[in-house]
Structure formats: C-alpha cells, structure tokens
Structure 1
Amino acid sequence: MTDLIETENVLGTYLRDRRAKLDPSALGFGGERRRTPGLRREEVAQRANISPTWYTWLEQGRGGAPSADVLDRIARALMLTEVEREHLFLLGLGRPPEARYRRNDGVTPRLQRVLDALEPSPALIRTATWDVIAWNRAAPVMLIDYGSLPPEERNILRYIFLDPRARAVQYDWESVARFALGAFRVDAARAGASSEIEPFVAELCRISPEFRAMWRENDVPGAHTEAVKHIRHPILGPLAFEYSAFSVDGRTDLSMIVYNPATPDDAERIRSLLPASPPHRAASDSAPHGEEQAS
C-alpha cells in the first residue's frame, strides 16, 4: 500500500529527489551532520517563503493542488532549470508554466554550421521578437545584409516597415507586412515576450503610420510554416522560394527560416552571387544574418 501511495504521489517524489541533490552548506545552511542528503523540508519552505507545514503536506500528497505562484517559488528554492521547472508544473498543475522570455543573441557553432550547409538556400535564425541573430552567405544575396547593420537594427519588422528596399522587392508589400506583423504578435506572446517588445512596438508606431494602423487591428494569422515566396531581386530579377519555418530544438525562443530556391535555375542564380568564402564569425557573435520577411 505504501509503495502504491509513493507511486501515485509523483509530485512529492520529484520534490524530495530535487531537494536531496542540493548542498545545504552552499546555500547558507548549517554544515552539521544530516541523516539524509540535501535540504530539509523546512529549509526548502524557508527559501520559497511558504509554510513548512504546507510544503510537507505537498510532498506527502496532501493539501490540494498548489498555485502557479507557489510552484514558481519552489522552483527557485530548488534551483530548477527551465526544463525541470516545466516538469514541476506538469506534475503539480497538469500544464506547463507561462512562458518567460529570456533574451539570447547567440547561436552555437553547430547551429551556424547547419545554416551554412543549406546553401544556396538563404537561411537564418530569428528570435521570438524577430531579431535576426544568425544567417548563411546566401541570405544577404536574397535581400538585405544584416551584417552591415548595427545589432540593434537587425530586425525583420524594422526592415519591412522602414527600409524602402523591402517595398521594392515585394510584389504585394501590404500582404507581406500584414502577415508578418500578425505572426510577430503570435511569436512574442507565445514566448512570453509581450513586455519585451513594448519599446520596439512604440518606436515603430511613432515612425511608421502603416505599422501603427496594422498593429491596432490586432489581426492574428493562421498557421503558415510553409509557403512559396516571390520577390523582384534588384540584380537577378524574379525569384521564387519555398519558405519554411522550423523550431530550433531546445530553444523555444528561436526559429530557423529557410528559403529554398523553387527551381534549379533560381538556385544557380543565387549561387552565382555568393562570396568566395564564408565571412569569419566569432562563436559568440550576435551578428550573423541576412534576410527578409516571410510572406
């Protein structure tokens, strides 16, 4: 019977396991000899600023479901990683926690190599706030070279609404802009970045009347991870790309955007403009990228 109770109380089992892995002395608690490893229940409760009795009940499977706020406190007290925190919420509430956006402007060398291997297809990595943080050599050929811009200006919406080149290459700029803005709104909300984008949105509202009008419409597009995109390239003329968006494994805040040339001729024309060798990039460089908007 005891084994059955232990099996059913998966939340309590997980909490006990996590606190047993913490070093009391490293967290400011006495270094006296302990019967069991890790923190005591009352020490976890102290760090989480909750009742020791209630925390004990939680480990024992009593007292009802905890609130999201309490689980957040416990996650911090137990120094859980983002993955561990999500697991805690799934056990305690049956759902993941609300997204918390954490800005990160770098990609791993491995991910950069994936982008480079996709040439001559233009490919890039964008954040949930649509900042471009990595790209391959074909991406600047397609439209704009984000590497020539200051890091704070490497943003797809900034390019679409403020750069005249975006209007020149699009066959239907308004449709592209409207879709992009709606997708941006969804991505930011899903990543928990609504507060993060407020200054950026306010800036574009001041500068671009069209952005301001579209933003106030609150339109949200349907799913659109694959499409065919047509542009008027200033050198190569009409080009068609199969557009695809992919999630980056382990990075819910990043998306990989790939523009696969629709025909072998389009691929060869893109290849003809590629530089002789890839530009040198430091692994921590937040610059790599070049791209235009997905329509």
Structure 2
Amino acid sequence: MPEMRRSELGAFLKARRADLRPEMVGLPEDGTQRRVPGLRRAEVARLASVSVDYYTRLEQGRLPASATVLGSLSRALRLDEAARTYLYDLAGKPSPSGRHQPEQRVRPAMQRLLDRLDHSPAMVLGRYNDILAWNAAAAALYEDFALLTPAERNYTRLVFLSPALRALHLDWEDAARVGAATLRMETARNPDDPRLADLVGELSRRSPEFRRWWSGWIVSTDSYGTKRFRHPLVGPLTLDCDTWANPDDPEQRLVVLTAEEGSPSDEALRILTSWSAEPAARR
C-alpha cells in the first residue's frame, strides 16, 4: 500500500471520526470538555476493538490496514455503503459490500425431529449462532423465539443482550465467552460478510464484556458439556448439552439439552414442558 494512499486513508478516518458524537454510537458522555468536535481516537479504537496505538498509527498513515480491521472501522464509524467502498478502495482491498451469505433453511425432517423431543430442549443453530429452528421445550426453557424478529434470533446476541437469558445461565460468563469465541472463529471463515460485521458491531457497542473478550482473540470448538440454569418457574436445572453437525450443511448444528432420567432436573423439565405443550411457532 503506497505511503500516499495510507495518508489519504488516515485523513478519511480522521474526517469521519470528527463527524460523530458519542451518543450517535452508543457511548456515554464523560462530562469532559472536548478540544475538537467528534469522537476521540480512543473511542474509535474501543468501538473497533483495536488498541489506541494501532488506530493512531493508522490515522497517521504509518500502517496498512487489513480487511478485518477495515470492517471493524466501517462499523465503528457508521459508514454507509459508499463510504465503506471508498475506505476499502483507499486500502487497496476489495469491498465486501453486498456479499451476504445465502439464507439458511432447516429441512422439514429436522423440524419433525425437534418436535418429537418432547422433554428435551433442542434447536438448530446456523451460521453465526443464528437460531434457525427450535422445539417447544427450547421455547419454554429460554424464551419464545417466535416473538423475536429473524435478526434478533441469534443465540450469542441473546446471551449478551437479553437480561432474561443472562439471568437464566448460572454460568453466564462461560456461555458468553463461548459465544464470543464462536463468532471469532466465524470471522476466519467469512471475514467479509456484512451480516457478521453488523452483529459483531452491535455487540461491541452494547456489551463491554463482549468488547473485552473479542479483543482477546479467544476461540472455541466446544461440542458438549454441562450447562446450569436457574429458571424463574422451576428453579435450578443441570442439563447435558450435546451438539451434532448437520451432514447436509456443516454450518448447521443440532443442539440438544437432556437431563438424567429421574433426576430433579428431569422432573423440572417435564413440569416446564407440560406448561408449553403447543408446538413452537415457525419462522
């Protein structure tokens, strides 16, 4: 990347930073007097999950920018499609604009399988932990996903942003860390997908824990384990969680929660699902 282009990119970043106020990006005012209008470098670095020193050197034209960093800066600075394209052009990178992944669908046979797991919460998670399908037991344990918009039906998003799901998980920090780690691994597979960029951007703005763990570059491939919940209606639950990949679509995973037969958690699940006997609404 020629030095002149890096200088132009830095000037563009500085100009866009000056156009934003903290409330426009979900940041609180700290009460101190700003010497110049707009966001501070530290605030942009925080929103983009990069160090202040790294961002400063980008603005000064002393470093080239990777596609991943450009995506983070596009979200942090609220760039529209034209501005995002210009930013990538300055960096000499192909713009990801419009490169959304195709929508994922669950086969009817998989939904029938979910519905027949009467007392075991089960769901199909897709790309980026999107909740593609679920059964009545999962709706009873977590929440009625049918009441959410498709954009809101994302397990990692709910774990970080839903107060109800946060309270439900007794080991919330473990669940949230795994969610952040899963998204981090997704960026390696789909680094330029705007859908993923928007999700990471929203979580970075709204959750300080996500920002901290995201910048730590943790990764995870957990496929089974034990989860502990405290449900507001039936109390504590200790459930085994198992995950299987869908042979038809490796980006879809069947997640099933079960309790040892005859255990207090098994009895609690049966009580809980008896109050939600109707099949879960579909997408």
Give the TM-score of the pair, scaled to structure 1.
0.57
Structure 2 distance, partners of 1:220, 1:148, is 31
Structure 1 residues 130-279: aligned runs within 5 Å: 130-187=129-186, 189-190=188-189, 192=190, 195=193, 196-221=195-220, 223-265=221-263, 266-274=265-273, 275-279=276-280
Report the Cα distance in structure 2 between the residues aligned to 1:261 and 1:180, rounded to whole angstroms.
23
Task: Tell me by how many angstroms 1:133 deviates.
Answer: 1.1
Structure 2: stretches of 5+ with no match in the other structure: 1-98
Change (3 A) 1:246 1:194: farther
Flag the structure with larger Rg. 1
Give the alignment's Cα RMSD to 1 decimal: 2.1
SS at match of 2:106: coil
Deviations 1:224-282 (A, max 9, x none): 2110111111111110111011101111121111111234342332222332332454x
Are the counterparts in 1 of residues 121 and 257 from structure 2 also a CA contact under 8 Å? yes
Q: Which residue of 1 aligns with 2:33?
A: none
Q: State the alpha-carbon separation in 2 of the partners of residues 193 and 113 from structure 1.
A: 34
Give matches, 1:108-127, under 5 Å.
Answer: 108-127=107-126
Q: Do the aligned partners of 2:243 and 2:256 also contact (CA within 8 Å) in 1? A: yes
Q: Which residues in structure 2 correspond to 1:67-86 (within 5 Å)? A: none
* TM-score, structure 2 normalization: 0.59
Runs of at least 4 residues of structure 1 off by over 4 A? none
Shift of 1:183: 2.3
| Alpha carbons 2:146, 2:281 under 8 Å: kept | no
User: Conserved in 1, the CA contact under 8 Å of 2:124 and 2:252?
Assistant: yes
Bigger shift: 255-264 or 106-115? 255-264
Describe the superposition over 1:178-232 as per-residue Cα deviations: whole angstroms up to 9, x where unpaired.
1221123224534x365241111111111112211111111113x4211011111
Aligned to 1:56: none
Would you say the 8 A contact 2:122–2:257 is kept in 1? yes
How do 1:10-159 and structure 2 match up within 5 A? Answer: 102-159=101-158
What is the number of residues matched between the two proteins?
A: 181
Structure 1 spans left out of the alignment, 5+ residues: 1-99, 282-286, 288-295
Give the letter for the 1:271 counterpart: R
